[in-house]
Amino acid sequence: MSKLACFAAGLAAILALAAVGAANEKPSADAILAALRKGFAGVNDCRATVTLTVKGPQVSINEMKMTLYYKKPNKVHIEAERGIAMFPRGALFGNPVQELGNGGRADYVRSERKLGVDCYVLRLTAPGARPGAHATVWVDKKHTVVVAAESTGTADMKTSWRYQTIDDKYYLPVQMNAELHPQAGPDTAGVIKSTIRFSNYRINKGVSDRVFESKPPTQDSDPHLRRRYRK
Amino acid sequence: MSQRPRTYLGFAAFALINFFVMIGLKYGHLEWMGTHEAVRTGYTVTGSPANAEFMAWLVVGSPLAGMILIMFMPFFICLVFGEIVSGEVAEGTLRTVLCRPIRRSSLFAAKVAASMIYGMCLVLFLGVSAYLLGWAFFGRGGLLAGGTFEHPMVAWYGQGPALARLCLSYVLTAVGATTVGMIALFISNWLHNSLGAIGGAIMLLFTALVIGEIPYFKPIKDYLFSTHLLMGQKAFADPIPWHEVAYGLKCLAIYIAALFAVSLAMFQRKDVLA
């Protein structure tokens, strides 16, 4: 990445943080969100090894390794290291703010320490969410990254992230833990716990566009089989 | 036993089944048996699970396995177990053998041991041939197990744990197959008729399977040998339900021991001069 782009990204992040800091008493939720959306701004492309572990009723994925490719603006590709790779949908980089989309609502709640980090606490409500369904997000004041999130809805989900500074400049996630608690009901299953570890980061070393042109993910397109499996 | 062509029929049939499973996996997207549940439960799946471990799982733990283990396996096992005594009676060789000063119990135990070794070899052949075919065409790797129609699951194990679970599954399957074979041996010893032994054992198996599906007979379902015939599939659950596996093994061991004891008693009282 050029020095100019680095400088521009850094400036943008500083400006966003400055906007957050400007409101001492009650920071603006929108400013925090804006800063969050610029998260990983210095990363134009990256490659990382992902190790996935999921444990729960009828699910047991044990240390499945895969390679994650990312390229701006939103190209993502997962490649199996040994034959097959599986990844929970919607969990890439684990940024709930990305999932909020346009038209969602964000409210600043308070500031508190979470997982040993000083955080802003935001309440996010997705557009069209049913009453009472929302997500609470803890945002690291220093690095403006999501440290933890809790969401309620059809299932309660708790997630937490651990970050490290990579190559002395990029503050990126190295581990994400998630716990899914299905709400009580006749078909309630137990808790599903998953851990996603990111390692061997190679940032801004260039990722060919051809990587993203490989075969699309496997689709559920076999109605015959779908009928036969228990719902 | 080794001189009879029917002994090798099971091996040939399983080699053929594995060949077609391999063709299905290579050209017919049979890997759906493994990936369906993962896709359905919200995972992005890329690549293919097809490898040696997956092929060995397909014939013992997938929805395909039900057909193989409940229809083909008992038939080929009974073909040999049901003939081990009655075949010799029909050919008149048993009389010649028993006229010699040998202990009948030793002879019978030797016959049962040979049959059990055959049963174990047949089950292991199913797995080993599937594994080797898979290795030759797809290579090796981890195992993606998708469960069965009744008990779908998403499980992925690294190569080492996958091999351990496959071995356990085949051993448990061999115990179930041996139980059906012992029924055939018992009937063969009783009726002196190989066809009757095969037909009788298969009939008992299907009857027990039907009884097991009728809610009225639910209290006795756990005691039926047919209930534990597919217990090898439990080896792919995480954690392995050891309590259920141990119960199934105990149940089948009691069947095998009881059938052996009754068959031995009948064999010792057999009037070969009549």
Q: pLDDT value at position A99?
A: 58
B57 part of contact set with chain A, CB < 8 Å = no
Model-level ipTM above the cut of 0.85: no
Q: Which residue has the higher pLDDT, A29 or B49?
A: B49
Task: Please report how many Cα atoms fall inside a 13 Å half-sphere around the Cα of residue B152, on the Cβ side.
Answer: 18
The whole-angstrom separation of Cα B137 and Cα B134 is 5
- A180 contact residues in B (CB cutoff 8 A): none
Q: B64, B156, B159, B233: best mutation site toward chain A, by most A Cβ within 10 Å?
A: B156
**Minimal Cα–Cα distance from A80 to chain B, Å?**
6
- Are B22 and B134 in contact by the 8 Å Cβ rule? The answer is yes
Q: pLDDT value at position A23?
A: 44
Q: Which residue has the higher pLDDT, A31 or B201?
A: B201
Closest CA to B153 of A206, A214, A187, A54: A54
A60 part of contact set with chain B, CB < 8 Å = yes
In 3-state terms, what secondary structure has residue B3?
Answer: coil
Whether residue A57 has a cis bond before it, omega within 30° of 0: no
The whole-angstrom separation of Cα B39 and Cα B44 is 6
Q: How many CB atoms lie within 10 A of CB B150?
A: 10
Q: Is B141's CB within 8 Å of A83's CB?
A: yes
Q: pLDDT value at position B255?
A: 96
Nearest CA in chain B to A229: B149
**Minimal Cα–Cα distance from B146 to chain A, Å?**
9
pLDDT tens, residue by residue, A118-135? 998 988 887 777 777 788
* Dihedral (Cα; B188, B191, B193, B195), 10-degree rounding: -80
What average pLDDT does this structure show over A27-45?
78
Domain coordinates in residue numbering, chain A: 44-206
Q: Is B36's CB within 8 Å of A229's CB?
A: yes
Please give the single-letter amino acid code of residue A169.
K
**Minimal Cα–Cα distance from A161 to chain B, Å?**
20
**Minimal Cα–Cα distance from B35 to chain A, Å?**
8
pLDDT-derived band at A84, boundaries 50, 70, 90: confident
Q: Is A59's CB within 8 Å of B155's CB?
A: yes
A 5-34 residues inside an 8 A Cβ radius of B:
none
- B51 contact residues in A (CB cutoff 8 A): 83
B 120-139 residues inside an 8 A Cβ radius of A:
138-139
Percent of chain A with pLDDT over 90: 12
- A65 contact residues in B (CB cutoff 8 A): none
**Minimal Cα–Cα distance from A54 to chain B, Å?**
9
Q: pLDDT value at position B19?
A: 94
The whole-angstrom separation of Cα B28 and Cα B19 is 13
Q: pLDDT value at position B178?
A: 94
The whole-angstrom separation of Cα B111 and Cα B126 is 23
Q: pLDDT value at position B115?
A: 93
pLDDT-derived band at A1, boundaries 50, 70, 90: very low
Q: pLDDT value at position B193?
A: 84
Nearest CA in chain A to B147: A58
pLDDT-derived band at A230, boundaries 50, 70, 90: very low
The whole-angstrom separation of Cα A182 and Cα A167 is 39
Percent of chain A with pLDDT over 70: 70
pLDDT tens, residue by residue, A176-229? 998 888 766 555 568 888 899 999 999 888 888 888 876 655 555 444 444 454
Specify the pTM: 0.81
Q: Is A83's CB within 8 Å of B142's CB?
A: yes
Nearest to A89 among B44, B49, B51 (CB): B44
Q: pLDDT value at position A231?
A: 41
- Architecture of the domain whose range is A44-206: Clam (2.50)
Q: Is B238's CB within 8 Å of A63's CB?
A: no
- Are A192 and B42 in contact by the 8 Å Cβ rule? The answer is no
The whole-angstrom separation of Cα B33 and Cα B31 is 5
pLDDT by 10s per residue, chain B, length 274: 777 778 888 899 999 999 999 999 888 888 888 788 888 877 888 888 899 999 999 999 888 888 899 989 999 999 999 888 888 888 888 888 888 888 889 999 999 999 999 999 999 999 999 999 999 999 998 899 887 777 788 889 999 999 999 999 999 999 999 999 999 999 998 888 888 889 999 999 999 999 999 999 999 999 999 999 999 999 998 889 999 999 999 999 999 999 999 999 998 887 776 6
A21-30, A66-75, A148-157, B169-178 — which one is most confidently predicted on average? Answer: B169-178
pLDDT tens, residue by residue, A92-110? 444 556 655 556 778 888 8
Output the six-digit token pair for A78: 């997962």
CB proximity list for B146: less than 8 A, separation 6 or greater = B33, B34, B35, B36, B37, B38, B62, B152, B153, B154, B155
Q: pLDDT value at position A215?
A: 62
- A229 contact residues in B (CB cutoff 8 A): 36-37, 40, 149, 152
